[in-house]
Chain A
Amino acid sequence: DIQMTQSPSSLSASVGDRVTITCRASQGISNSLAWYQQRPGKAPKLLLYAASILESGVPSRFSGSGSGTDFTLTISSLQPEDFASYYCQQYYITPPWTFGQGTTVEMK
Protein backbone atom coordinates (compact mmCIF):
# COMPACT_ATOMS: atom_id res chain seq x y z
CA ASP A 1 0.00 0.00 0.00
CA ILE A 2 1.11 3.57 -0.63
CA GLN A 3 1.70 5.54 2.57
CA MET A 4 1.03 9.27 2.67
CA THR A 5 2.91 11.43 5.18
CA GLN A 6 1.95 15.03 5.87
CA SER A 7 4.00 17.69 7.61
CA PRO A 8 3.59 19.39 9.88
CA SER A 9 0.91 17.60 11.93
CA SER A 10 -0.23 20.98 13.19
CA LEU A 11 0.69 24.61 12.79
CA SER A 12 -0.27 27.94 14.31
CA ALA A 13 -0.89 30.89 12.02
CA SER A 14 -2.61 34.26 11.87
CA VAL A 15 -5.15 35.69 9.47
CA GLY A 16 -3.31 36.91 6.38
CA ASP A 17 -0.40 34.48 6.75
CA ARG A 18 0.85 32.33 3.90
CA VAL A 19 0.55 28.68 4.92
CA THR A 20 2.21 25.66 3.31
CA ILE A 21 1.47 22.01 4.02
CA THR A 22 3.56 19.19 2.59
CA CYS A 23 2.52 15.67 1.62
CA ARG A 24 4.93 12.91 0.69
CA ALA A 25 4.02 9.57 -0.91
CA SER A 26 5.97 6.39 -0.17
CA GLN A 27 6.30 5.80 -3.92
CA GLY A 28 5.63 7.81 -7.06
CA ILE A 29 1.97 8.64 -7.69
CA SER A 30 2.29 10.91 -10.73
CA ASN A 31 -0.21 13.73 -10.08
CA SER A 32 -2.93 11.49 -8.63
CA LEU A 33 -3.35 13.50 -5.45
CA ALA A 34 -6.28 15.30 -3.84
CA TRP A 35 -6.49 17.74 -0.95
CA TYR A 36 -9.44 17.98 1.43
CA GLN A 37 -10.44 20.49 4.09
CA GLN A 38 -12.38 19.42 7.16
CA ARG A 39 -13.80 21.95 9.57
CA PRO A 40 -14.64 20.74 13.10
CA GLY A 41 -17.78 18.63 13.20
CA LYS A 42 -18.20 18.77 9.43
CA ALA A 43 -17.63 16.45 6.50
CA PRO A 44 -14.46 16.71 4.44
CA LYS A 45 -14.59 18.98 1.39
CA LEU A 46 -12.60 18.50 -1.81
CA LEU A 47 -10.26 21.43 -2.48
CA LEU A 48 -7.97 20.25 -5.28
CA TYR A 49 -7.44 17.15 -7.39
CA ALA A 50 -4.80 16.11 -9.90
CA ALA A 51 -2.43 17.84 -7.48
CA SER A 52 -3.19 21.33 -8.77
CA ILE A 53 -6.72 21.55 -10.21
CA LEU A 54 -8.98 23.69 -8.06
CA GLU A 55 -12.41 22.19 -7.43
CA SER A 56 -15.29 24.38 -8.56
CA GLY A 57 -16.21 27.00 -5.96
CA VAL A 58 -12.96 26.78 -4.00
CA PRO A 59 -11.29 30.17 -3.44
CA SER A 60 -8.22 30.92 -5.52
CA ARG A 61 -6.10 31.51 -2.41
CA PHE A 62 -5.78 27.71 -2.31
CA SER A 63 -3.22 26.20 -4.66
CA GLY A 64 -1.44 22.90 -5.05
CA SER A 65 1.74 21.71 -6.69
CA GLY A 66 3.95 18.68 -7.05
CA SER A 67 4.29 15.42 -8.89
CA GLY A 68 5.81 12.04 -8.16
CA THR A 69 6.31 11.82 -4.40
CA ASP A 70 6.30 15.39 -3.08
CA PHE A 71 3.30 17.70 -3.00
CA THR A 72 2.36 21.03 -1.47
CA LEU A 73 -0.86 22.75 -0.51
CA THR A 74 -0.54 26.52 -0.13
CA ILE A 75 -3.01 29.01 1.29
CA SER A 76 -1.79 32.40 0.09
CA SER A 77 -3.56 34.55 2.68
CA LEU A 78 -5.19 32.67 5.53
CA GLN A 79 -8.81 33.60 6.22
CA PRO A 80 -10.80 32.95 9.44
CA GLU A 81 -12.78 30.16 7.76
CA ASP A 82 -9.55 28.36 6.82
CA PHE A 83 -8.76 27.24 10.36
CA ALA A 84 -9.43 23.54 9.87
CA SER A 85 -7.75 20.21 9.24
CA TYR A 86 -6.33 19.35 5.83
CA TYR A 87 -5.78 15.89 4.36
CA CYS A 88 -3.98 14.70 1.26
CA GLN A 89 -5.10 11.51 -0.51
CA GLN A 90 -3.57 9.41 -3.25
CA TYR A 91 -5.64 7.63 -5.89
CA TYR A 92 -2.82 6.41 -8.14
CA ILE A 93 -2.68 2.80 -6.96
CA THR A 94 -5.97 1.58 -5.52
CA PRO A 95 -7.28 -0.08 -3.51
CA PRO A 96 -6.71 1.23 -0.95
CA TRP A 97 -7.28 4.93 -1.38
CA THR A 98 -4.95 6.30 1.29
CA PHE A 99 -5.03 9.56 3.21
CA GLY A 100 -2.33 11.44 5.01
CA GLN A 101 -2.67 11.70 8.77
CA GLY A 102 -3.87 15.29 8.54
CA THR A 103 -2.59 18.77 9.33
CA THR A 104 -4.48 21.01 11.73
CA VAL A 105 -4.22 24.75 11.11
CA GLU A 106 -4.82 26.57 14.39
CA MET A 107 -5.10 30.23 15.25
CA LYS A 108 -1.93 31.72 16.69
Chain B
Amino acid sequence: QVQVVESGGGVVQPGGSLTLSCAASGFTFTDHGIHWVRQAPGKGLEWVSYIRQDGSTEYYADSVKGRFSISRDNSKRTVYLQMNSLRDEDTAAYYCARTLYGAHDAFDVWGQGTMVGVSS
Protein backbone atom coordinates (compact mmCIF):
# COMPACT_ATOMS: atom_id res chain seq x y z
CA GLN B 1 0.00 0.00 0.00
CA VAL B 2 0.94 3.66 -0.25
CA GLN B 3 3.20 4.51 2.66
CA VAL B 4 6.25 6.35 3.92
CA VAL B 5 8.26 4.98 6.84
CA GLU B 6 10.72 6.99 8.93
CA SER B 7 13.74 5.60 10.73
CA GLY B 8 16.95 6.77 12.33
CA GLY B 9 15.70 8.56 15.42
CA GLY B 10 17.46 8.32 18.76
CA VAL B 11 18.99 10.27 21.62
CA VAL B 12 22.05 12.45 21.03
CA GLN B 13 23.96 15.05 22.99
CA PRO B 14 23.72 18.74 22.15
CA GLY B 15 25.99 19.50 19.22
CA GLY B 16 25.66 15.99 17.90
CA SER B 17 24.40 14.69 14.55
CA LEU B 18 21.77 12.29 13.34
CA THR B 19 20.45 11.21 9.95
CA LEU B 20 16.80 10.36 9.48
CA SER B 21 15.50 8.28 6.57
CA CYS B 22 12.09 8.22 4.91
CA ALA B 23 11.45 5.14 2.77
CA ALA B 24 8.55 5.25 0.34
CA SER B 25 6.56 2.45 -1.23
CA GLY B 26 3.34 1.85 -3.14
CA PHE B 27 3.43 4.94 -5.35
CA THR B 28 5.46 6.63 -8.09
CA PHE B 29 8.11 8.23 -5.92
CA THR B 30 9.32 10.70 -8.54
CA ASP B 31 5.84 12.25 -8.82
CA HIS B 32 5.96 13.70 -5.31
CA GLY B 33 7.86 16.21 -3.27
CA ILE B 34 8.63 15.16 0.29
CA HIS B 35 8.49 17.21 3.48
CA TRP B 36 9.77 16.77 7.00
CA VAL B 37 7.51 18.05 9.78
CA ARG B 38 8.29 17.90 13.49
CA GLN B 39 6.32 18.03 16.69
CA ALA B 40 7.92 18.78 20.04
CA PRO B 41 6.37 16.95 23.01
CA GLY B 42 2.95 18.42 23.77
CA LYS B 43 3.28 21.05 21.03
CA GLY B 44 1.92 21.68 17.55
CA LEU B 45 3.21 20.86 14.08
CA GLU B 46 6.24 22.67 12.67
CA TRP B 47 7.31 22.36 9.04
CA VAL B 48 11.07 21.64 8.78
CA SER B 49 12.18 20.98 5.22
CA TYR B 50 11.09 20.12 1.66
CA ILE B 51 12.71 18.53 -1.37
CA ARG B 52 11.32 18.62 -4.88
CA GLN B 53 10.56 15.47 -6.89
CA ASP B 54 13.84 15.55 -8.79
CA GLY B 55 15.90 16.83 -5.86
CA SER B 56 16.64 20.12 -7.63
CA THR B 57 15.05 22.35 -4.98
CA GLU B 58 15.30 22.31 -1.19
CA TYR B 59 13.74 24.55 1.42
CA TYR B 60 14.34 24.85 5.15
CA ALA B 61 12.66 26.46 8.11
CA ASP B 62 14.68 29.34 9.57
CA SER B 63 15.04 27.35 12.80
CA VAL B 64 17.11 24.63 11.08
CA LYS B 65 18.71 26.48 8.16
CA GLY B 66 22.46 25.90 8.02
CA ARG B 67 22.24 22.90 10.37
CA PHE B 68 19.93 20.45 8.56
CA SER B 69 20.28 19.12 5.03
CA ILE B 70 17.67 17.24 3.01
CA SER B 71 18.45 14.91 0.11
CA ARG B 72 16.84 12.11 -1.82
CA ASP B 73 17.91 8.98 -3.68
CA ASN B 74 15.19 8.22 -6.19
CA SER B 75 16.77 4.86 -7.05
CA LYS B 76 16.26 3.84 -3.42
CA ARG B 77 12.94 5.66 -3.03
CA THR B 78 14.32 7.31 0.09
CA VAL B 79 14.61 10.84 1.46
CA TYR B 80 17.18 11.73 4.10
CA LEU B 81 17.40 14.49 6.69
CA GLN B 82 20.93 15.09 7.91
CA MET B 83 20.76 16.94 11.23
CA ASN B 84 23.93 18.58 12.58
CA SER B 85 24.65 20.83 15.56
CA LEU B 86 21.58 19.52 17.33
CA ARG B 87 20.05 21.61 20.10
CA ASP B 88 17.69 20.86 22.97
CA GLU B 89 14.89 22.53 21.03
CA ASP B 90 15.25 19.99 18.18
CA THR B 91 13.79 17.32 20.45
CA ALA B 92 10.62 16.18 18.68
CA ALA B 93 8.84 13.50 16.72
CA TYR B 94 9.90 13.87 13.08
CA TYR B 95 7.41 12.95 10.37
CA CYS B 96 7.98 12.71 6.66
CA ALA B 97 5.02 13.45 4.43
CA ARG B 98 4.25 13.26 0.74
CA THR B 99 2.99 16.25 -1.21
CA LEU B 100 -0.40 15.76 -2.83
CA TYR B 101 -0.10 15.18 -6.58
CA GLY B 102 -1.38 18.11 -8.58
CA ALA B 103 -1.93 21.80 -7.97
CA HIS B 104 -2.57 21.67 -4.24
CA ASP B 105 0.40 21.44 -1.94
CA ALA B 106 -1.18 19.66 1.00
CA PHE B 107 0.48 16.67 2.67
CA ASP B 108 -1.57 13.56 1.93
CA VAL B 109 0.52 10.62 3.18
CA TRP B 110 2.36 10.73 6.51
CA GLY B 111 4.69 8.29 8.20
CA GLN B 112 4.33 7.14 11.79
CA GLY B 113 7.19 9.38 12.92
CA THR B 114 10.59 8.83 14.48
CA MET B 115 11.59 10.37 17.80
CA VAL B 116 14.69 12.52 18.21
CA GLY B 117 15.87 13.45 21.70
CA VAL B 118 18.65 15.94 22.33
CA SER B 119 19.91 15.83 25.87
CA SER B 120 23.13 15.88 27.83
Contact = CB atoms under 8 A, between A and B. Distances in A.
B113 interface: yes
A87 B104 contact: no
Interface of A is mostly: loop
Interface residues of B, number: 23
**Among A49, A50, A53, A100, residue most surrounded by chain B Cβ atoms (within 10 Å):** A49
B38 to A, nearest CB: 11
Given A44-B95, A87-B45, A102-B44, A97 B35 contact: yes
A99 B107 contact: no
Given A87-B44, A99-B45, A102-B44, A94 B106 contact: no
Contact of B47 (A55, A98, A102): A98
A55 B44 contact: no
A96 interface: yes
A44 B59 contact: no
A1 B59 CA distance: 14
A89 interface: yes
A101 interface: yes
A46 B106 CA distance: 8
A95 B107 contact: no
Contacts of B68: none
Given A43-B113, A49-B100, A101 B44 contact: yes
